[in-house]
Amino acid sequence: MSIVVTGATGNVGRPLVAELAAAGAHVRAVSRSPQTAQFPSSVEVVGSTAEALPGASAVFLNSRALGPDIHELANVVAQCRDAGVTKLVALSAINADDDFSRQPSRFRGDRNKEVEQVAISSGLEWVSLRPTVFATNFAGTWSAQIRAGDVVAGPYAAASAAPIVDSDISAVAARALLTDELVGQQIPLTGPQVFTNSELVRVIGAALHRPLQYLEVPAHLVRERFIGLGFPAEFADAYTAMLAETLDNPAFVTQDVETILGRPATAFADWVARQRDLFTPEREGSHV
């Protein structure tokens, strides 16, 4: 029997494939470019979910990889049932129940609420993982500014998050796919500590040995910058609305990662120390 991983080349999918392969599972990694995707030699790489399903026992569902059409999500789950799959592990989000206007990832293709719903209603065993903001999101959002100088400009300096390191999500997903310990659970996953935006920038600065500072700027200027970078206006509005919500309802920490994995969730500072090149100008990073 095989375990199918959709979104296999993503920030969660790639380390998940590695975790499963290391555990001795037969893994089918779904990639849009199977000829060029690089995985451990034991991993079978396929170009579509339909191709991966025959003989599979469990499937990791990444809604962004499966496309924004909610009917396609339902079709994939139906195909899973027809193929004899017995378990679905859905990648959702900690804010999946929030108003869509505060879910910026929706405007980049995620369907966190819907993928959870189709898994729960599938009639199969299911697990829904609900991680908070990924640590890598801060590299994507701030790295260009950090490479250019010592100031990170953005909205709401006091907005808070408990970022989770992406590979911790993968490790929990592997446990959900390999065992029955988590079946029937919606699991909120966070990092071990809550930070404000200002504190997050200082943590990155400490790892880089630089005096980084966060500069709060009006939301409308942030909106203009995102649009200038090619993001849809709806993404910019949802991003600032999500941060504004935490001013009155601060982020929180759960212990689920530690409970499930038997070790603490990875600290944001430790992740930054290992990923310094993401924030370092190329001429400096080449010496690290």
Dump pLDDT digits (tens) for 69-103: 889 999 999 999 999 999 999 999 999 999 999 99
- The pLDDT value recorded for residue 282 is 59
The span from the CA of 230 to the CA of 226, in Å, is 7
Give the 3-state DSSP-derived string for 154-189, with helices as H, strands as E and coil as C. Answer: ECCCCCEECCECHHHHHHHHHHHHHCCCCCCCEEEE
pLDDT recorded at residue 287: 32
Beta bridge partners of 125: 87
The C-alpha R_g of the chain, in whole angstroms, comes to 19
Q: What would the pLDDT profile of 205-252 be if each residue is shown by its tens digit?
A: 999 999 999 999 999 999 999 999 899 999 999 999 999 999 999 999
* pLDDT of the residue at 84: 97
Section 269-286 average pLDDT: 80
Q: Is the dihedral of CA 249, 251, 255, 257 positive or negative?
A: positive
Instruction: Give the pLDDT confidence score for residue 271 in this predicted structure.
Output: 98
Q: How confident is the model at residue 66 (pLDDT cuts 50, 70, 90)?
A: very high
* 34: confidence class by pLDDT, cuts 50, 70, 90: confident
Using CA atoms, how far apart are residues 150 and 148, in angstroms rounded to an integer?
7
> How much is the pLDDT for 155?
97
Per-residue pLDDT tens digits for 3-24: 999 999 999 999 999 999 999 9
pLDDT in tens, 162-219: 999 999 999 999 999 999 999 999 999 999 999 999 999 999 999 999 999 999 999 9
Task: Tell me the whole-structure pTM to 2 decimals.
Answer: 0.95
Rounded mean pLDDT, 36-64: 95
Residue 1: per-residue pLDDT: 79
User: Collapsing DSSP states into helix, strand and coil, what is residue 192?
Assistant: coil
- Check residue 286 and give its pLDDT: 32
The third-level CATH classification (topology) of the domain covering 2-133+166-190+252-266 is Rossmann fold (3.40.50)
Q: Pick the more confident residue, 271 or 32.
A: 271
Mean pLDDT of 113-137: 98
pLDDT of 38 above 70: yes
